[in-house]
Amino acid sequence: MPQYNPPLRDMQFVLHEVFRVVDALKVCPPHAEVDADTINAVLEEGGKFAAEVTFPLNITGDAEGCRLDKSTHEVTTPTGFKAAYEQYVAGGWPALSCDPAYGGQGLPFVVNQCFYEMLNSANQAWTMYPGLSHGAYECLHAHGTEEQKRLYLPKLVSGEWTGTMCLTEPHCGTDLGLLRTKAEPQPDGTYKLTGQKIFISAGEHDMASNIVHLVLARLPDAPAGTKGISLFVVPKYKVNPDGSLGERNAIYCGGLEHKMGIHGNATCQMILDGAVGTLVGQPNKGLQAMFVMMNAARLGVGNQSVGLTEVAFQNALAYAKDRLQMRSLSGPKAKDKPADPIIVHPDVRRMLLTAKAYAEGGRALLIYCALLLDHELHHPDEQVRKDSAELLALLTPIAKAFLTDNGFVAVNECLQVFGGHGYIKEWGMEQFVRDARINMIYEGTNTVQSLDLLGRKVLANNGATLKKFGKLVQALIEEEGVNEKMSEFINPLAQLAEQMTKFTTEIGFKALQNPDEAGAAAVPYLRVAGHLVFAYFFARMASAALKAIAAGSTDPFYQGKLQTARFYFARLFPETATLMRQARAGVANLMQTDAALGVEGI
């Protein structure tokens, strides 16, 4: 059976020693009184909830899955899921970073980020039920009418109700401009929605008394494409003016998807048969409003993969220390045993360190993103809010795609450490692999994220936002460039930062001549950008570790941090050279292949 220990020490290091979040948050009025002890205490209790309540349900939930009663359209979640959710609500966890005006605790998003990493490690499928509610809360908080906020936000904040996002339809996945769901205006100001949605995570379940669906649909006179999409809030049960539940709405689960992983989460085919909803935001501007939820979800998906990477690493490490196989090439290490533990073998350490580096780099990136969000929402300086929003927009596709690609690599490496036992269900490793695979697909495939990064976030503004991140990198290079102990971390970072400008300009120029060049270069380009970001954060973590050692600390944690950073720069970072060659290879070897693929005439 797998095990899980919340990585509180590493979280505290990143929060307090690398980013100094308490000082960073003091300038934000809602968080001026938040201190390190409060953050640490909340995360310690959150870790206990994840490890003791939801983690024991991970394997059983995967084996049992969800059940649909086709006569009632009701879904039953795996044994223990509902009770765990009741504990989650009773503990006040849904309200952690929500607005106090609606019953929230008002803690920084950066705290919620760390809590959700632990929940994702413990049980990704279970965590998706409350996780999507945060996105629904954010969307309605930003774009809902006062009446919608009054009716829905307190219940979402308390966790009494959960939320979903209903976008995808059978004939359109990422291309939402093709969606057909219709919304007919009614005399009372409501709308009746008719259509079908698929792949709706947590679309129907028995864990909460109501489900608040945010649904994209078209008004009768809507223009074609994405310019004609509106957003509606469509509850499972209609909500009376006093907030009580009314009759069942005409939105229901028509079927459950049979999936490769995340079996404990109900992925639903949702039918809208004249379901009553109300408009969120402006007509035909629904996609802009939904992006609040979509961007939150993309960061959340990156967090899912970091959580899985962490738990897979912990179990592979424990196994490698215990499993005896062969002798070390340099001579026996466990001379009192018939063989050495496999952790003595170099390639086993490579696999373990790959997972460790990807977990720690991903954790740093996501904590930084959460801190940017806190600044975007609450910093008193308008320019800081604007800069934070721009940087977060730049980093969001990287957080989604780079971290989920890395996560899938990491969990596969960890399964490999187990050898044949990794392929067997009872060890839990194959579930991590199956669960991690969806993260590269949903909330916009990783190729879509790559196109978004290169096209919208970099080339569309001539690299202005990328240059803002470059200034952070340059400031660190200037600060640490004369520190000889930092040279092994700073030099490769500085080299890539210098190459990035020329590399981006070159790709941009080719894309001006032929837009398909951007499509051909986008995926390797995002990974190069991801390594630039990781290199920056690993250099910052190495700097913090060296400062602690210089101050007299003998805690082996800091040496471990330096060793992980050295591994990252020596073994993972050099991928950038290959990636840049791939991106520069151009589009011809992809598109001039009709004969190879048998698609002449298309």
Q: Tell me how far apart the alpha carbons of residues 13 and 546 are, in angstroms, rounded to a whole number.
A: 13
Q: Which of 417, 392, 415 is nearest to 302 (CA)?
A: 392
Q: What is the DSSP code (8-state) at residue 50? A: I
> Which tokens belong to 132?
């999507």
How many other CB atoms are there within 10 angstroms of residue 442's CB atom? Answer: 19
Neighbouring-strand partners of residue 476 = none
Q: Cβ contacts of residue 356 below 8 Å, gap of 6+?
A: 313, 564, 567
Q: How many residues does the chain have?
A: 602
Neighbouring-strand partners of residue 272 = 195, 251
No. of H helices and E strands in the chain? 20, 11
Neighbouring-strand partners of residue 215 = 166, 232
> Which tokens belong to 361?
């780099």
Neighbouring-strand partners of residue 269 = 255
Contact (CB, 8 A) for 213 and 250: no
Q: Tell me how far apart the alpha carbons of residues 334 and 322 are, in angstroms, rounded to a whole number.
A: 11
Q: Tell me how far apart the alpha carbons of residues 590 and 557 are, in angstroms, rounded to a whole number.
A: 46
Q: Tell me how far apart the alpha carbons of residues 112 and 94 are, in angstroms, rounded to a whole number.
A: 9
Q: Which of 169, 390, 443, 480 is catalytic?
A: 443
AA identity, residue 452 = D
443 is catalytic: yes
Q: Tell me how far apart the alpha carbons of residues 227 and 93 are, in angstroms, rounded to a whole number.
A: 37
Place of tokens 């899955």: 65
Residues serving a catalytic function are: 443
